[in-house]
């Protein structure tokens, strides 16, 4: 997977779609957003991460030191703002050592390589948003990129228990299987349960539905399978699971989608 090429490709498709969308169009997956909000969002995200990584080794910023991207008063200026943000991000990431350290909100993500991967999938998902907002057919994705997108959702946005929390499984299990024509099969197994604990900084007590990646012998309670792109779109809430196959309890597939959605907030 060439993540930098993915960022460039999907950012270009994003810009083409938002420029074609009606100014009053709403984003189907995020109906509280209009096309201008979507355009500013991707520009803001890409601008932020280009500052965090920095123009050269050791020149990245902590998040508190990043100057927020100003939103233009005129929405017509937003596509140019987004194009500039993409160019800055690609310039910041090109030629960098993936193992180079930088800030991240994720415990396992403090490297430039993690940022490159995250931004590839950020651009991909919002490119889909832009195409859907413009009323276009959604452009396909490279199966390897889509499969990596499934892996990122499950490993970065779903899996993980903070050191102050406890995960208690409740017996529900599910497997996710990439099984599309000509695709290399990949699978993930997850256990459902409750994640509970008290945040050490806020003092907030948490108790919510969760799923964690596990090694499960034998079969799971349910399985959802299909092409990587269909799975990626479904997990991100950009498509239903009509093109996927569910074995076992379909409520567990819906539960996984709900857990993933919470991780995306």
User: CA-CA-CA-CA torsion for 17, 19, 20, 23, nearest 10 degrees?
Assistant: 120
The model carries a pTM of 0.95
Cα–Cα distance for residue pair 55/235, rounded to 1 Å: 33
From first to last of its 265 residues, the chain has per-residue pLDDT tens of: 799 999 999 999 999 999 999 999 999 999 999 999 999 999 999 999 999 999 988 888 999 999 999 999 999 999 999 999 999 999 999 999 999 999 999 988 899 999 999 999 999 999 999 999 999 999 999 999 999 999 999 999 999 999 999 999 999 999 999 998 989 999 999 999 999 999 998 999 999 999 999 988 778 999 999 999 999 999 999 999 999 999 999 999 999 999 999 888 6
- Which residue is it, tokens 């017509």? 76
Q: Give residues with Cβ within 8 angstroms of 91, minimum separation 6.
A: 50, 55
């Amino acid at each position: 997977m060439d993540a930098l090429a993915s960022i460039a490709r999907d950012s270009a498709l994003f810009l083409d779609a938002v420029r074609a969308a009606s100014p009053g169009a709403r984003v189907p997956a995020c109906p509280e957003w209009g096309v201008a909000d979507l355009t500013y969002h991707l520009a803001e995200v890409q601008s932020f991460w280009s500052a965090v990584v920095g123009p050269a080794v050791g020149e990245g910023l902590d998040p508190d030191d990043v100057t927020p991207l100003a939103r233009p008063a005129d929405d017509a200026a937003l596509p140019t703002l987004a194009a500039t943000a993409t160019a800055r991000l690609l310039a910041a990431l090109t030629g960098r050592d993936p193992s180079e350290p930088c800030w991240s909100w994720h415990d396992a993500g403090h490297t430039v390589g993690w940022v490159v991967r995250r931004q590839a999938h950020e651009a991909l998902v919002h490119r889909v948003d832009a195409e859907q907002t413009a009323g276009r057919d959604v452009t396909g994705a490279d199966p390897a990129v889509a499969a990596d997108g499934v892996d990122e959702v499950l490993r970065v946005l779903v899996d993980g228990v903070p050191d102050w929390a406890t995960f208690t499984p409740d017996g529900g299990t599910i497997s996710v299987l990439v099984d599309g024509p000509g695709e290399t099969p990949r699978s993930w197994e997850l256990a459902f349960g409750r994640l509970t604990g008290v945040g050490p900084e806020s003092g907030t007590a948490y108790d919510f539905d969760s799923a964690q990646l596990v090694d499960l012998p034998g079969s799971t309670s349910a399985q959802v399978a299909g092409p990587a792109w269909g799975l990626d779109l479904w997990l991100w809430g950009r498509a239903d699971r009509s093109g996927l196959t569910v074995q076992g309890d379909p409520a567990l597939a819906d539960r996984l989608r709900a857990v993933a959605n919470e991780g995306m907030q």
